[in-house]
Structure 1
Amino acid sequence: MTPIVFVPGLLCSAEAFAPQSVALWEFGPITTASTLSGETIAEMAAAVLANAPPRFALVGISMGGYICMEIMRQAPERVARLALLDTSAQPDTPEQTSQRRVMLARARESDFAAWSEETLTSILHPSRRADANLRQINRRMGQAVGLEGFARQTEAVINRPDSRPGLAAIRVPTLVLVGDCDALTPPERSEEIASLIPGATLVVVPDCGHASTIEQPLLVSLALARWLQE
């Protein structure tokens, strides 16, 4: 069985993949990488590799997808298959960078636990933003990362490279998945990734925002199970 390594997104903990960790245990040993060390996406990727099995299936969501694409640049021979969820291969635009710096300033001025809950909840599908369970998950994940962790991750995301030039070199079974109502990394970003990776499979999850793994856990787990059996 091939080990599976999950890589969480910005301001997210291992809880982002809790449903998949339960659903996919039969396919191989599962670990969730820490994103709490490293000042850049490249350093985060190196830290994941330092603690990962020799060869593994790699799954990343959002910022975790940026890290996964960097792992494919640093050590492609160690990745048996790749899944990129709700992410983008493009670098930040000046407008996105400005918005991130405003968010960081607001986070520093606020009750961070409450701020992180509201911020993470805002990226969900509109029909789920009042869901008490999802709100609590988001609060716990925000507390797990903390303000300084969020600040460091934000700077890493702002300074990430353009991953598009290297996508054509990926030669492992690849799943690209996105929520149909993902406002943060819209479906066209995933369509672009899938078009650049040879043989990639694109899955668009219905009635779903940016946090697909906890919004539509069953559909995401089913898509990952199919990918693991390719």
Structure 2
Amino acid sequence: MKTSQMVMVPGLLSTAEVYRSQTKAWGGSVLVAETRLDDTIEGMAWRLLERASDRFLLCGHSMGGYVALEVLRLAPERVSGLALIATSAWPDTPEQTALRGRLVQLAQDRGIEQAAKLLEPKLFAAGTATEELRRLNISMSAEIGTEVFVRQQAAIIGRRDQRPLLATIGVPTIVVSGTADAVIPAERSHEMAAAIPAAELVMLGGIGHMVPLEAPQDTDAALATLAARVAAA
């Protein structure tokens, strides 16, 4: 791969471990964005921009995709290529916001592990939910903790509608989604790929929401493809 910096943005309740395969496969420098300190997506995006190199490739999974799109809104000239994985440009719906409130209350009352266990069936497709991935999910959630979970949920609830941004994205883009994603419907990826002028859509059959962990080799390949497109541009 090219040696450009890749900035990887984790999703809700995820640490750098969610990108363990991609970090190992990437041939250049890797920065895993800090998503634990801010209670707005814009704040996370500004923190990323403060730490990243002048120009970089950008990869966001789930909540990380919300941050990645905000980075494109704030500083499009800094991004040379974009990977959007199991994410959406839509704002939160009232139903989603209500569910997040219940999850926050559960985490505060009974602990973050209980909230993580409740979320687990939606995160992994039936055929990918190995015991190792279940343990990793709980481990990442425990490391994130309840306080950060509350901040991250507040940031997600307050995120802006990024659909108007999509048509302005002028860099090579790859949109990756699992057909069995029970968190963000696959049609959101179809919509984004159709709206972004330089986007390529990769649909992974039988894969759920945690694409980088459930389909690590496919995710590695998608990022390699993106890097090749950026190099050729």
What's the TM-score once normalised by structure 1's chain length?
Answer: 0.95
Q: Does 1:197 align with 2:196?
A: yes
Q: Deviations over 1:67-126 (max 9, x none)?
A: 000000111110010000000100011111111111111111213234324424531102
2:14 is matched with which residue: 8, 12, 15? 12
Q: Deviations over 1:45-87 (max 9, x none)?
A: 0011111111100000000000000000111110010000000
Measured in 1, the distance between the counterparts of 2:116 and 2:92 equals 21
Does structure 1 conserve the Cα–Cα contact (< 8 Å) formed by 2:106 and 2:114? no
Where in structure 2 are the equivalents of 1:1-230 lying within 5 Å? 1-24=3-26, 26=27, 28-120=28-120, 122-129=122-129, 131-230=130-229
> Alignment length, in residue pairs?
227
Unaligned runs of 5+ in 1: none
**Sequence identity (%):** 41
Does structure 1 conserve the Cα–Cα contact (< 8 Å) formed by 2:178 and 2:186? yes
Q: Deviations over 1:159-202 (max 9, x none)?
A: 11000001111110000000111111111000111111102000
Measured in 2, the distance between the counterparts of 1:44 and 1:210 equals 21
Does structure 2 conserve the Cα–Cα contact (< 8 Å) formed by 1:100 and 1:154? yes
Does structure 1 conserve the Cα–Cα contact (< 8 Å) formed by 2:86 and 2:178? yes
Counterpart of 1:90, as a letter, is W
Unaligned runs of 5+ in 2: none
Counterpart of 1:189, as a letter, is R
| Counterpart secondary structure, 1:127 | coil
Does structure 1 conserve the Cα–Cα contact (< 8 Å) formed by 2:73 and 2:165? yes
Measured in 2, the distance between the counterparts of 1:75 and 1:177 equals 23
Counterpart of 1:212, as a letter, is V
Measured in 2, the distance between the counterparts of 1:120 and 1:47 equals 29
Q: Deviations over 1:11-68 (max 9, x none)?
A: 11000100111112x2x21121110121211011001111111110000000000000
Counterpart of 1:6, as a letter, is M
What's the TM-score once normalised by structure 2's chain length?
Answer: 0.94
CA RMSD of aligned residues (A): 1.2
Counterpart of 2:74, as a letter, is Q
Measured in 2, the distance between the counterparts of 1:202 and 1:94 equals 28
